[in-house]
Structure 1
């Protein structure tokens, strides 16, 4: 199969429940039985295998976005720190200015007191000098003007100091917020990088699924219920292979190969097929003794929905068919293994 971006179609599928994936048509049963944990694990592993490329691509896209965001966060933090430094400088200037104006006001108040005292002294002088008293009063007037001017300036300096303090507080908070955002993004990047570093591969997950496939068969068979199956494009299969089967059909179609087939069949239907296919004995004769190889009832993986007799274009697969070639090359990726004696028969164990 050509290396297409098939995995990228799967991002939206992440919300599907792994144990009951892709029920594209109504389910045959109404009450689902308790599916063994190993079967759920198998479904989960196959899902992860088939979404591994999309998951990795999404993680890398997330990382790229986070790294771009960190660059912006760092720029914002640098800008905030620069603004805070300017605000602190302004606060220092305003504080010093307020203190200087306050000192000048105290000096002006002392000068005014001295001028008033001079008027009092001149008024007590004998002989009385009206000119000296007038000069002293003019000095009081001048000192009062200076004091009032410096009072006004002190009010202005106080307002400037309050504004500088407010700005310093605002910019300090902005720096704290920017640094916190930078920290969060840095931690998020580390988490994403760790997820990328520890993410499993498609092949690895598929291998794990293959390793437990026989256990799936052994544990599903005793508790199987028709309610454990679902319909995928007209083929009834066990829910725990439905997602993989649907993906296989979809990806084959994208490659120009039509896949369908017969999946689940009842034990009664298996008995009928044994008779139709001329098996010497329904219950004991080996599958190979039938005109068309047919498993003994109770042993067929079709009876638990874990096998599919694959067709293409309405025809049973042969080893010369294009669909068989495609399946041989790609089916293992979806957890399907061929039974060597039957080109059309594919199951999770090859049995």
Structure 2
């Protein structure tokens, strides 16, 4: 037998259960169902493009420090010039001091000699004055000698005073030059230390080589990822050269850098599979589909294998001519292209791609 309260308890229990179910449904609706982990993973080509972008785009801190360092290097150059001037002035002052010391010593010696000559002349006058019979001519001559000797003493004394004054001036100039040289040396050393410190900081902030190396390490995976799904819409034009969008930024930066160095680069990038077939025929490949590229008059990859067909290779030209191993443009590329993610196919100086193939 049931009591009147039991139906009411059942109703309340069902209501609570319904509320819990509704709450859980609302939570699941808001949160959504998590997708597979692979959906959040970046594509390899995008990773390559991102690495190269960050490799070629300095951080604000790097840019600011580079500007600061440029100013500090200019200051260092000024300090170096001041130091050079200070050394020259110090050398001149030291030479002047040496000359003044020599001149002072010579003047003192001449003054002493003049005084001795005057003393000797006076002694001579005493002797001839005491001679009997008196020799008037000798006395007069002795007196004239004394007069001349006295004049010489006066002259030599004046010269000695002038030499002493010149020596004091030279000594003061030497002290001033030494003080100025010390100041210039300290200023230069301080500026040089500041430049060295910030150069080390700048190197520490520069991760471009590391990022470019990471991009190079996945370049073959980029090819593997892009080739099966490539469509022409994946390409774009950079200064008249059609390349894959993922390499466009790096390629543009490379051409800009070359131009800044006086090297004008262009070339041929993307081409269709049909064009690759035509080139195989034009270049005399024994068989369009099977003959190795090296068997053609001009090395030409088998259709479906060329990186040109997916916009990841460029045949570089300069001045309308394909690069040769002894050209200035090739030397520039050999020295710099790696920074932009491009590698040369050794057998073809003009052929550059993200893998070197």
| RCO higher in structure (CA 8 A, sep ≥6) | 1
TM-score by length of 1: 0.50
Point out the structure with max Rg over C-alpha. Answer: 2
